Structure 1
Amino acid sequence: MALENRDPPTWTPPRDPVSSSTPLVLYNSLTRTKSPFVPVDASGRKVTWYCCGPTVYDAGHLGHARNYLTTDVLRRIMRDYFGYEVEFVQNVTDVDDKIIKRARERHFFNQYKLEHPKLDAQVFAETRSAFDKFARNTKGFPFDTVSIDQVPEWMLSQKELLENPILDEDQTIFKVRILALDSVANALRSAPNEGSMDPEKYWSMVDSVLSVYLGDVKKGDISPEQHAIFADYAAYWENHFNEDLRTLNILPPTVTTRVSEYIPENIAFVEQIIDNGFAYAIPGGTVYFDVNAFEKAGHYYAKLEPGNRKGDANQEESVLPPAPVSQDQAQPTVSAADAEIENEKAQKRSPRDFALWKKSRVGEPGWESPWGYGRPGWHIECSAMASQVLGAQFDVHSGGIDLAFPHHDNELAQAEAYWHKDPKESAKPVQWVNYFIHMGHLSIAGSKMSKSLKNFVTIRDAIATGDWTARKLRILFMLGGWKGGLEISQNFRAEVDLWEKTVSNFFSNVEALTRESESSDGPRQKHLFRPQEKQLRQDLEAAQKQLHASLCDSFNTGPALSAILDLIGKTNTYLKNNQKSASNPTAYFSLAAVQEVARWVTKMLQVFGLSTTTGADAIGWGVDSSTGSDSVQNKESIALPYVQVLSRFRDEVKALAIANKSVPVCQDLLKLSDSLRDGQLLQLGVALEDRDSSIGEQALIKFGDPAELIAAREAKFQAQLEKEAKKQAAKAEAERLEKEKAEKAKLRPQDMFRTEEYSEWDEDGVPTKDSHGEEVTKSKKKTLKKAWDKQKKLYDSSLALAGKS
């Protein structure tokens, strides 16, 4: 069979899945189907997992949060629910084109600012040069006809683009670039005429253009051995990224691998691939993977995305791509560096071949190798480092769906080439990874988030503005599932808020009831097992089964969260139906049964990373790592005795005031009592939930976040206002109808049809002919007579009432 028509090789589990005890079925990108999860480990308990980590050149955004938070949820489920020992390896890409370019730009821009503490003619001249070069290389910008002074006027013609919230990739790139040009144009027009212009303001306005210019024209000043320039830049963003992960309560990797720290391993990996006959070096020092040789040896290329096996997709890492070029615009000038790259590509044996080792160019870091100064290619790092730590075969490889091709497909090819066994001599071909997990994209208003496109919301900004918390983001991604694309919409956000609020209210209620029962004068708890409690137990068991089935079904977390919410709803109904009241003073509920539900819910939230509490008997959320606010457990232990005294005092004052309503001062006491409950205490994070004092029920004490408690009180008050408004509207409508009915009752039935619509009537005033003199039909006359009888009855009733009065 021709190579072009070959199907991907059949995936095989490392052991017989029938004899394996695992209940988990996992969607595998390698097979595009669900299959039983069977670890490589013979004992079936250890799971080896490699995750593609960040390329550290900018701040992490919500798209990254979607990837790494979701991965963390799946890892926790694997470890804490299914009980596997997970060895989790994650790399940090601290050497690549984007990092090199950005680090070089920051280095020279910061250096330039130090060399020019004051704005001078040289600064303005070089900024203008930077503007010209940036404009010339912005495809779609008419640099030959629009001068710096004309930029503001030209920007007006781009109003539709600038105000459109939904842009495709090319439009987004173009928008970013023209906004940068506009900023520089404004700085150049203002600075020479305003000698007092703050230099820092100027630098901030020209940064995105001048830094690019300086990084390019001065790159020759950097030698390949100057690793610190790039390492320091990458280290800053790596620390930034790790701080974000801690904020999001994401577990650290078991092992972290950095490209810069695995250079010898990368070199040895490339050498072995060359020795196995699947790679070649070209003059100058770049080493390419030989895809054709790989396939001729019996391997299959592009297992994850077979449609790309001919190499139509971009094989290399890319920096910020240019905007689209118009048909009437000339192409930008090709630099010497770009020409060199194109010359090297021309020396490839096939367009499908990709770089394993890249020659260091001007202004780039490099390490000595058998092929000269260079650095690892985009894909080789993961193959080399994962193989170094996890060996010839491991269980799970995860990453964003955008990495499936070419990155992950090339990883697979490189690893199989390194661990090559002749398929003709080996019955079992190389299978480096058993399960690929790819997380879907995150989008807002239909646009995928991307650092390269600069259309992202950073993790820190999202949390700092209060739009999101670590908990809300985790709930969002769990509700949305891990595999498909996810778009943040208002409806989806409302679903997240409702889920969190329902769980929070449930925990708050259970914690308050528990505190009350544990107090010295609290109600004595009953532990009978009636049909109500039996039903609640059955509801808990049903939820446990539903959640288990969902997690076994390829980590289907959305239905798992729905099972928890449904159980909480049933538990709340149980509490409501068995709450003591004046109408049912002997009612009671089993707090132990409710606590059992709350403990299981907490346990599952611990598994998902939503609750930071510890211990099997814990109840509640625990600390939210992004806000620093906890479930006020520590504060409660200090404040509770004082709040209890105050609450009891208020209960007694309120009871006395209600019993003596006729005394004027008691009305004031009731107002003060409500003000204490709805004002001062809420602002301190204390909520008093009044119960029926006529049967001796004291207010239930709840603790919580002041803002949330106040918002809940306002929502309740607003609901009461709306209910009262509806009641008043219904009353007004009833009065209107009654008045209308009374007016109608004054009309004699003999007169009700004497209108221009008819021309003749009988002795009772019922029409016999219409306005044209035509006889009224029998059916019409029947209808008219029925209305006449109804009006007569109404009229006679009105006369009777008038006679009585």
Structure 2
Amino acid sequence: MRLYDTALRRIEPLELRRPGELALYVCGPTVYAEPHVGHGRFSLAWDVLRRYARWSGLAVRYVSNVTDIDDKIIARANEEGGDAAEVAARWEAVWWRTMDRLGVERPDETPHATAYVERMVDLIAGLIAGGHAYVGGDGVYFAATSVPDYGLLAPGPLDQLQVGARVEVGEEAGKRSPLDFALWKLAKPGEPTWESPWGPGRPGWHTECVVMSLDLLGEGFDLHGGGIDLAFPHHENERAQAEAAGRAFARRWVHSGHVVAEGGEKMSKSLGNTLSLPALLDAHDPRAYRLLALQSHYRRSMTVSPATLEAAGRAVDGLDGFGREFAAARDAEPDAGVRARFAERMDDDLDTPGAVAVLFEAMKQARAGGDGAVAAAVIDAWEKGLGLPLAREAQVPAAAAAKAAERDAARASKDWARADALRAELVADGYVVEDTPEGTRLRPAR
């Protein structure tokens, strides 16, 4: 597999630390609000990479963190007159419920920032001792220029870039340089705090992932991923801390692209043009959003609009027709040629548009010749390689249909606990549970 490395600015082979094993770290959510469609696209990109790596025969360990202490969480708690921990827990539950609906597999590990504060304090102390960090007026800061190659992940010359949105320049009076960033923020009234040698406070955002990724994946792990908006300064600041601490960090840096609205405008909360991911999943088959993501290369902008979603939905209906037509072919030996052509496209920087084109062409081939081996390869690639399940010929038993109807009633009355419990029962009974505008849809799991 070859992927575009943001640090090297070219496509390079994925050279694994241990043969046959992929150690993957992806920056996860900051849980203070519901996820939007950009979060969905980002999550699908890594879900597809993970599934394809596994389809290719690799063992994958996928770690993605949860930021459960942050300025935005605290601001939300203050607005509501509540507790930051409660806000984080509530919105984290919404995040996972939405990812389940989207068909995104949960990470193998989901470390939470608040569980690693003591180890972050140890890292910061070591950086100060090594001359890479200093105590300022309102916290501890990393001296960016103390790392000779600082800016490796930046999109251009440092003197032409603005410091990232999460660096509150106006509040950080103790900084020596605009590029320096907070490692430890001294306590303010009403904020959650932890003890440290520099006074009560909390860690800066850029320190969290350094500690968690190294703890769970070890030094020199294979790949660090995230949205392209995180490459600089967030991922660069992670990398700089690890280098300053003398720790081998990620071997490859890979980033996914933005979601844009019709007309090409980037979607972002700051512009006020984001779309709710739960609302999108209420209105469309979750597989349609996955297919839309697959038809866009992961590094490029993806347009989300009613027209693109409707087109993807129609294509999914066609895939379901193929799945029913060739249901009996699922147990056949998959055609090696189709598998090879699919893998060739996916291995080339995760070229999902090219891989999807291979599968659609193979579907025509299967239908033209009634070829079960070709159909088996197509279905296997869609379902296991890309995570897009196809319909089967199967009647849903009355008991399962009754549970689905009860779940719809629970959702209508906003009894989310009961709806989630019924979903869990149906999954345990062997069904894939999908939320559609018409209600709960059940398909037998593979």
Short-chain TM bin: 0.7 to 0.9
**CA 1:633/1:276 → structure 2, altered by over 3 Å: closer, same or farther?**
farther
Quote the offset at 1:440 in angstroms: 0.3
Distance 1:450 1:36 in 2: 32
Cα deviation 1:637-689 (Å, max 9, x = unaligned): x99xxxxxxxxxxxxxxxxxxxxxxxxxxxxxxxxxxxxxxxxxxxxxxxxxx
Q: Give deviations 1:38-68, integer Å, cap 9, x for gaps.
A: 1011xx1111111100011100011100000
Q: What secondary structure, in the 3-state scheme, does the structure 1 residue paired with 2:225 have?
A: strand
Encode CA deviations 1:551-602: one digit per residue, 9 max, x unaligned: 1111111111111111111222335xxxxxxxxxxxxxxxxx33x2332222
Counterpart pick for 1:450 among 250, 257, 268 = 268
Q: Which amino acid aligns with 2:37?
A: L
Structure 2 stretches lacking a partner, 5+ long: 402-436, 439-446
1:475 to 275, 291, 299: 291
Closer/same/farther in 2, CA of residues 244 and 306 from structure 1, 3 Å limit? closer
Q: Which amino acid aligns with 1:26?
A: L
Alignment of 1:438 with 2:255, yes or no, is: yes
Matching of residue 362 in structure 1 with residue 189 in structure 2: yes
Of 24, 27, 34, the residue aligned with 1:52 is: 27
Aligned pair in 2 of structure 1 residues 248, 342: CA closer, same or farther (>3 Å)? closer
- Output one character per residue of 1:292-312: Cα deviation in whole Å (capped at 9) or x when no partner: 2222xxxx1011116243484
**Larger relative contact order (C-alpha < 8 A, sep ≥ 6)?**
2
1:392–1:419 contact (8 Å) kept in structure 2: no
Q: In 1, Cα distance between the equivalents of 2:160 and 2:175?
A: 13
Letter in 2 for 1:552: D
Tell me the alpha carbon deviations over residues 704-754 of structure 1, each in whole angstroms, 9 at most, x when there is no partner: xxx99xxxxxxxxxxxxxxxxxxxxxxxxxxxxxxxxxxxxxxxxxxxxxx
For residue 483 of structure 1, report the CA deviation from its aligned partner: 0.9
Query: Does residue 95 of structure 2 align to residue 95 of structure 1?
Result: no
Q: How far 1:238 sits from its partner (Å)?
A: 0.5
Change beyond 3 A, Cα 1:354–1:509: same
Find the counterpart in structure 2 of residue 292 from structure 1: 145
Evaluate the alpha carbon distance shift between residue 71 and residue 57 of structure 1 in structure 2; reply closer, same or farther with a 3 A threshold: same
Secondary structure, counterpart of 2:63 in structure 1:
strand
The answer on 1:26 being equivalent to 2:28 is no
Give me the whole-angstrom Cα distance separating, in 1, the residues matched to 2:335 and 2:313. Answer: 24
- Checking the alignment, whether the CA contact within 8 Å between 1:547 and 1:560 is kept in structure 2 is yes
Corresponding residue number in structure 2 for 1:531:
none
The reply on whether 1:610 has 2:387 as its aligned counterpart is: yes
* Change beyond 3 A, Cα 1:633–1:611: farther
Partner Cα separation in structure 1 for residue 5 and residue 238 of structure 2: 16
Q: How does 1:576-587 map to 2 (within 5 A)?
A: none
Q: For residues 288 and 103 of structure 2, what CA distance do their matches in structure 1 show?
A: 12
Identity among equivalent pairs (%): 33
Picking from 599, 603, 606, the partner of 2:376 is 599
Question: Residues 335 and 376 of structure 2 are in contact (CA less than 8 Å); yes or no, is this contact kept in structure 1?
Answer: no
Q: Which has the larger radius of gyration?
A: 1
Structure 1 position 541, deviation (Å): 4.8
Q: Does 1:77 align with 2:45?
A: no
Partner residue of 1:504?
A: 320
Paired letter, 1:369: S
Mapped pair 1:317 → 2:166? yes
Q: Which of these residues, 329, 338, 353, is aligned with residue 558 of structure 1?
A: 353
Aligned-partner Cα distance in 2 for 1:290–1:282: 11
Contact 2:291/2:388 (8 A) holds in 1:
no
Pick one of 71, 88, 103 that aligns with 1:249: 103
Distance (whole Å) between structure 1 residues aligned to residue 228 and residue 52 of structure 2: 21
Determine helix, strand or coil for the equivalent of 1:255. Answer: coil
Partners of 2:109 and 2:298 in 1: CA distance: 23
CA distance in 1, matches of 2:70, 2:37: 22
Cα–Cα, structure 1 residues 448 and 632, in superposed 2: closer, same or farther, change >3 Å? farther
Deviation at 1:611, TM superposition (A): 4.6
**Is it true that 1:301 corresponds to 2:150 in the alignment?**
yes
Equivalent-residue separation in structure 1 for 2:142 and 2:227 (angstroms)? 24
Distance 1:294 1:508, change over 3 A: closer
Q: Given residue 499 of structure 1, which amino acid in structure 2 is its aligned partner? A: A
Corresponding residue of 1:64 = 39
* Residue aligning to 2:362: 567
Corresponding letter in the other structure for 2:299: K
CA shift digits 1:750-791 (9 cap, x unpaired): xxxxxxxxxxxxxxxxxxxxxxxxxxxxxxxxxxxxxxxxxx
Q: Which has the higher strand share?
A: 2
Equivalent pairs counted in the alignment come to 400
SS in 2 for 1:262: helix
Aligned 8 A contact 1:57 1:237 in 2: yes
The 1:417–1:267 alpha-carbon spacing in structure 2 relative to 1, beyond 3 Å, is same
| Cα distance in 1 between the residues matched to 2:152 and 2:167 | 23
What SS class does the counterpart of residue 569 from structure 1 fall into? helix
Give yes or no for contact 1:49–1:86 (8 Å, CA) kept in 2.
yes
SS in 1 for 2:295: helix
Alignment of 1:226-265 (within 5 A): 229-265=83-119
- The separation in 1 between residues aligned to 2:136 and 2:213, in whole angstroms, is 27
Distance 1:233 1:356, change over 3 A: same
